[in-house]
Chain A
Amino acid sequence: MSSTPRPLQQQVTLVELVDRVLNKGVVLTGDITLSVADVDLVYVGLRVLIASMATLEAPEAEQA
């Protein structure tokens, strides 16, 4: 993992990506014993950051 904090959009994309790869998609056997990240709880942690997204005019500018 990178030590510098990811821009918010990248964090959101990563959360969405991990949710899909670990929690969604076709399952062929009952044997899914991987524990999965609780994405909704992760979003609770991101909420404060996400609330500030509403005020971002140019998100691209954040990703220097």
Chain B
Amino acid sequence: MLHLYVLTEHPAQLVDMTGIEDSVLRVVEVTPAVDAVVGDVSIAEGQPGEAAILAHAAVVEELAGANEALLPARFSRGYPSDDALGEAIAEREPRISRALDRVRGCVEIGLRVFDDAPAADRRAEGSGRAYMQSRLEEVRRAEQTAAELHDALAAAARESVSRVLATPQLLLSAAYLVPRSGVEPFQRAVGGAERDRPSLTFVCTGPWPPYSFAMIDTEQA
């Protein structure tokens, strides 16, 4: 089986490492513009184990350091042949090329913002209607806070994705596409937002390869 790690702009730069099951990395030249980096692995049964997930992430990380325009691949079951992979890529080439253009020279910064005392956890006194009303207001306030936070950071990024209140505690989950040279100022902006909101907990991670901006099936642009 072929395991796909990334799609890159041709010509792909390989790195000196092995992948899942210590397999050799190789390039499949799919179209004149797009290369795939793959490894030959045994057929996977069920869920990938921790070792395979970590190996995939490590290969993607190193390749992202060596290739300016790169789309990390989601961990998937694999492809039976170079041709099968090639067909799947060729069908989607316009979207892939656009995505490569968008992420060129950029990394991803992840952000999760937690409200340690979320309103939705507090029990309100009074009638059912008053309770629902106060809950709605608190959700609206939380959404407004999340939007303020996100909008300020999104303005400093090339692209962004966000989700508000995935759980009552998780005020904001977001990813920001930032040029490499912009990472330090962006992290300072996150630090500033954190100091402005001492009641919230910020978890900022990265830089990552642009996983969140490689999802061509839910293309936003």
Q: Which residues of A approach B to under 8 Å, CB–CB? A: 1, 12-13, 16-18, 20-29, 31-35, 40-41, 43-44, 47, 50-51, 53-54
Contacts and interface: CB of A to CB of B under 8 A. Distances in A.
A21 B215 contact: no
Nearest to B208: A20
B71 A26 contact: yes
A24 B74 contact: yes
26 contacts: A1-B50, A12-B205, A16-B110, A16-B208, A20-B72, A20-B208, A21-B74, A22-B53, A22-B75, A24-B211, A25-B74, A25-B214, A26-B96, A26-B99, A27-B76, A28-B73, A29-B88, A31-B76, A33-B77, A34-B75, A34-B76, A34-B77, A40-B170, A43-B167, A43-B169, A54-B201
Nearest to B168: A44
B77 A27 contact: no
Interface in B81-109: 85, 88-89, 92, 96, 99
Contacts of A17: 53-54, 57
Nearest to B218: A27
Contacts of B99: 26
Nearest to B201: A54
B137 to A, nearest CB: 23
A21 B75 contact: yes
Nearest to B175: A24
A31 B89 CA distance: 14
Chain A interface, DSSP helix/strand/loop, else mixed:
helix
B158 to A, nearest CB: 17
A25 B215 contact: yes
A28 to B, nearest CB: 4
Given A34-B47, A34-B48, A40-B167, A50 B114 contact: yes
B53 A18 contact: yes
B197 to A, nearest CB: 11
Nearest to A1: B50
Nearest to A40: B166
A26 B214 contact: yes
Given A12-B203, A44-B169, A47-B169, A26 B7 contact: yes
